[in-house]
Structure 1
Amino acid sequence: MPDPVIITPYNPDWPAQFEAIAVPIREKLGPLALSVEHIGSTSVVGLSAKPIIDLDVVISSRLLLPQVIEKLAELGYTHAGDQGISGREVFKKTADIRHHLYVCSVDTPNLHEHLLFRDYLRTHPAEAAAYGALKMKLAEQYGEDRDGFTDAKTEFVQSILAQAKADLPLDPRPLALLPEANHD
């Protein structure tokens, strides 16, 4: 069944939707999770996005993954492996709120890029607006070709990541993982 790429204007309910998903995860995982992060375009105020909430559960070590898999299964999540991206574990669940749940250890480059990209767009509204406009244009252009859509925005994403990395503080951890950071 075709699954078209649909980009919608920012929805101010997205943070509350994130919390509705994150709270039971935080409660179930307790100290196994360092944090549960709202990532992706729905985490950036004002940014147009696919109406899917993306979450990263951050764990201190991949050695905790078996325990995390067991606890998330109690919430109805099924572990779907890394789906080709090393260090990022995918979990699936049928839910009222469409979302993607990933578990990453704190040292996973993919996690760092998610947080860096999010934090940069949160603090650079002009770039966020340009990204939103690009996604709207690409959604029209690529329709049901999700891979084409993703590939077409890669250059923009990489340019933002390069700029964000150039602006990093001396501490190499993503801003969201610094002790004084406000977590979602």
Structure 2
Amino acid sequence: MDEIEIAEHNPDWPAAFQRERERILSALADFPIIDIVHFGSTAIKGMPAKPIIDMLFIVPDLNSAKAALPAKLDRLGYDYWADNPKTDRLFFVRGMPPRGEKRTHHIHVSEPGSDLHGRLAFVDYLYTHPEEAEAYARLKRKLAETYGNDREAYTQAKSDFIDRVMMIARPDKPQ
């Protein structure tokens, strides 16, 4: 079962991201990556989160990434979600059974300017607006109780909040 656990903010999350970023960059030295960014709730100081380090890879070409990254990241313990219905990105998970006990890392891969890349504005906005960050924290806790065993429903239930913040954080972009 893939239960949703919301943990209090762990001050080691940024360092855990840096350690994994360096490990990945060493292993992928021959692959063009524009940037690897700490992404999601573990990147927001003080934010409770699922204790999973989300990383966003910005790559110059998604098709090249799709051809190369599944095999390369498999060697690092990441499973590729080949059936992801969102075709504008790639998604990898580390730590799921049988390779591990529970998820520890997610890798999201997209091109510059993609919708997913634009979501960095959400993290930035919450980082600079503590009242919105606290509202998001309350929502996450409530939804984890409501949808504790349904990751898709949990994620979907957060979408109105995220969309509202994105309209404020990026008023130049239609949502």
What's the TM-score once normalised by structure 1's chain length? 0.79
Q: What is aligned with 2:39?
A: 39
Q: What is aligned with 1:72?
A: 73
Partner of 1:32, secondary structure, is coil
Gaps in structure 2 of 5+ consecutive residues: none
Q: Is the 8 Å Cα contact of residues 82 and 89 (structure 1) preserved in structure 2?
A: no
Q: What is aligned with 1:55?
A: 55
Q: Which has the higher helix share?
A: 1
What's the TM-score once normalised by structure 2's chain length? 0.83
Report the identity percentage.
Answer: 37
Q: Which residue of 152, 165, 169 maps to 1:160?
A: 165
Q: CA offsets, 1:49-88, max 9 Å, x none?
A: 1111111111112243123344334434343226111221
Distance 1:74-1:151 versus aligned 2 partners, 3 A rule:
closer
The size of the alignment, in residue pairs, is 166
Q: CA offsets, 1:22-42, max 9 Å, x none?
A: 111122223611111110100
Q: What is aligned with 1:179?
A: none
Letter of the structure 2 residue corresponding to residue 138 of structure 1: L
Q: What is aligned with 1:10?
A: 9
Q: What is aligned with 2:121?
A: 116
Partner of 1:101, secondary structure, is strand
Cα distance in 2 for residues equivalent to 1:92 and 1:149: 18
Cα distance in 2 for residues equivalent to 1:62 and 1:76: 21
Structure 1 position 19, deviation (Å): 1.3
Cα distance in 1 for residues equivalent to 2:140 and 2:93: 25
Q: What is aligned with 2:145?
A: 140
Cα distance in 1 for residues equivalent to 2:86 and 2:130: 29
Q: Is the 8 Å Cα contact of residues 89 and 103 (structure 1) preserved in structure 2?
A: yes
Cα distance in 1 for residues equivalent to 2:38 and 2:11: 14
Query: Runs of 4 or more off by more than 4 Å in structure 1?
Result: none
Q: CA offsets, 1:97-125, max 9 Å, x none?
A: 70111221224222222x11111111211
Q: Is the 8 Å Cα contact of residues 82 and 88 (structure 1) preserved in structure 2?
A: no
Cα distance in 1 for residues equivalent to 2:73 and 2:157: 33
Distance 1:45-1:104 versus aligned 2 partners, 3 A rule:
same
Q: What is aligned with 1:175?
A: none
Structure 1 position 147, deviation (Å): 2.6
Q: CA offsets, 1:132-154, max 9 Å, x none?
A: 01111221222323233222221
Cα distance in 1 for residues equivalent to 2:94 and 2:143: 28
Q: Is the 8 Å Cα contact of residues 82 and 90 (structure 1) preserved in structure 2?
A: no
Letter of the structure 2 residue corresponding to residue 131 of structure 1: Y
Q: Is the 8 Å Cα contact of residues 104 and 111 (structure 1) preserved in structure 2?
A: yes
Letter of the structure 2 residue corresponding to residue 7 of structure 1: I
Letter of the structure 2 residue corresponding to residue 98 of structure 1: T
Cα distance in 2 for residues equivalent to 1:119 and 1:77: 27
Distance 1:13-1:151 versus aligned 2 partners, 3 A rule:
same
Q: Is the 8 Å Cα contact of residues 32 and 64 (structure 1) preserved in structure 2?
A: no
Q: What is aligned with 1:83?
A: 84
